[in-house]
């Protein structure tokens, strides 16, 4: 959806706000699920909603979800709705006006709900980077049996995916964030409480691969870790997932990281695709 169209929809949302009961308690999934029936005649919209619902269902079952499409409404969705309504109802038929008003009026909130899926994942599951089952399998194939250390593992979705694919991985996290976030108290795999630096000091002789996913924005712990890796006598594959100069990691890290390109990293990124406005990807760092 282009910026001009989004601005138009947001204006329309403000007009509709007066007629919306904002105090009704509705969960995110229940709210977005309600749009399935409303947009039943629009497959491109239903696909987006169904992908969100399916991802949530798998996570609730303790499984990694599948790869998501880009959760953005099609640029031409209003034109499509207008055309469909005109083909369904005769000109001047009040039923057509009612359907048009209902569907077009729902678009701003639906757009916001789709864009808010990452926030929901963070709040509900403590999942910041979207770790899918296909990506976990591709990462396991890249590691190919080499002992691995994950630092800043959060709730452990990467390590869980590697364990599911029969890889040996040590998951570590300082767990400092769990004091302020309830979801941090519900890890999906065993996680040892260690800072990134302490984890490297303890395990660097035992591992060949280090994985760091979504290091906190602005904190130099990633740069400190990179310097330790460089100073070591041992060579590692340092796999980093984040948004360069964006939502993750410190500026010192991005300014000093040497980002290596290879067919293997290209293959990993084929399974780690953007689904919203954050453009994180997989890097091999030296």
* The pLDDT of residue 183: 73
- For residue 186, what pLDDT is reported? 85
Whole-number pLDDT of residue 24:
37
Position 23 scores a pLDDT of: 36
Residues counted in the chain:
286
- CA-CA distances (angstroms) from residue 157 to 16, 41, 47, 166, 215? 39, 36, 25, 14, 14
Residues of the chain with pLDDT under 50: 1-25
Looking at residue 98, what is its pLDDT?
Answer: 95
Instruction: Give CA–CA dist 168/10, Å, rounded.
Output: 48
Q: Could you report the per-residue pLDDT of 101-115, keeping only the tens digit for each?
A: 999 999 999 999 999
pLDDT 10s digits, 73-112: 999 999 999 999 999 999 889 999 999 999 999 999 999 9
Report d(CA 78, CA 103) in Å as an integer: 9
Bridge partners, 285 (sequence order): 238, 259
Q: Classify the phi-psi angles of 115: left when phi > 0, otherwise alpha if psi is within -120 to 50, otherwise beta.
A: alpha
Q: Per-domain residue ranges for the chain?
A: 3-124, 128-285
Counting Cβ atoms within 10 Å, is residue 182 exposed (0-12), middle (13-18) or buried (19+)? exposed
Model pLDDT, residue 86:
93
CATH number, domain 128-285, options 3.40.50.2300, 3.40.50.150, 3.30.70.260, 3.40.50.720: 3.40.50.150
Q: Are the CB atoms for 80 and 42 separated by under 8 Å?
A: yes
């Amino acid at each position: 959806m282009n910026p001009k169209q989004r601005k138009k929809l947001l204006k329309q949302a403000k007009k509709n706000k007066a007629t919306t009961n904002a105090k009704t308690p509705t969960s995110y999934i229940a709210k977005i699920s309600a749009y399935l029936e409303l947009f039943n005649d629009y497959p491109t919209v239903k696909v987006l909603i169904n992908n969100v619902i399916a991802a949530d269902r798998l996570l609730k079952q303790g499984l990694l979800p599948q790869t998501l499409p880009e959760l953005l409404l099609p640029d031409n969705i209003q034109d499509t709705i207008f055309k469909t309504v005109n083909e369904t109802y005769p000109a001047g038929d009040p039923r057509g006006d009612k359907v048009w008003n209902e569907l077009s009026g729902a678009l701003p909130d639906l757009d916001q709900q789709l864009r808010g899926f990452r926030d929901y994942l963070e709040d509900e599951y403590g999942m910041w980077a979207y770790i899918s089952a296909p990506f976990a399998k591709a990462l396991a194939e890249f590691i190919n049996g080499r002992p691995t250390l994950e630092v800043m593992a959060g709730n452990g979705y990467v390590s869980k995916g590697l364990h599911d694919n029969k890889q040996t991985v040590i998951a570590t996290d300082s767990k400092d964030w769990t004091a302020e976030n309830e979801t941090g108290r519900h890890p999906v795999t065993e996680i040892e409480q260690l800072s990134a630096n302490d984890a490297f000091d303890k395990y660097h002789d035992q591992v060949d691969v280090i994985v760091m996913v979504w290091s906190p924005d602005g904190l130099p712990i990633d740069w400190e870790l990179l310097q330790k890796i460089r100073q070591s006598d041992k060579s590692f594959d340092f796999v980093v997932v984040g948004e360069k100069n964006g939502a993750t990691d410190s500026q010192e890290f991005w300014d000093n990281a040497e980002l290596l390109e290879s067919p293997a990293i290209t293959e990993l990124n084929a399974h780690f695709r953007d689904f919203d406005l954050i453009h994180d990807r997989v890097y091999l760092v030296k």
